[in-house]
Amino acid sequence: MAYVISDECVACGTCAGECPADAISEGDGKYVIDADVCLECGTCEAACPTGAISAE
């Protein structure tokens, strides 16, 4: 089960810098996670300062 980023995202980029799989990229107004690349490690969820990332 991949992680997803909600609309609570403030596009700070913290999660992208922490992702060991480079599965996170800047989308339209918020960051997005490529579910096919996501390792489901939870590093992004722990790094997000707004709590916008959760398991799908």
What is the C-alpha separation between 29 and 18, in angstroms, rounded?
Answer: 19
The CA-based angle 32-50-4, given to 5 degrees, is: 30
Residue segments in the chain with a per-residue pLDDT below the cut of 70: none
Domain count, the chain: 1
How confident is the model at residue 26, as a pLDDT? Answer: 97
- Structural domain for 27, as ranges: 3-55
How confident is the model at residue 29, as a pLDDT? Answer: 93
Whole-model pTM: value is: 0.91
For residue 25, the domain's CATH number is 3.30.70.20
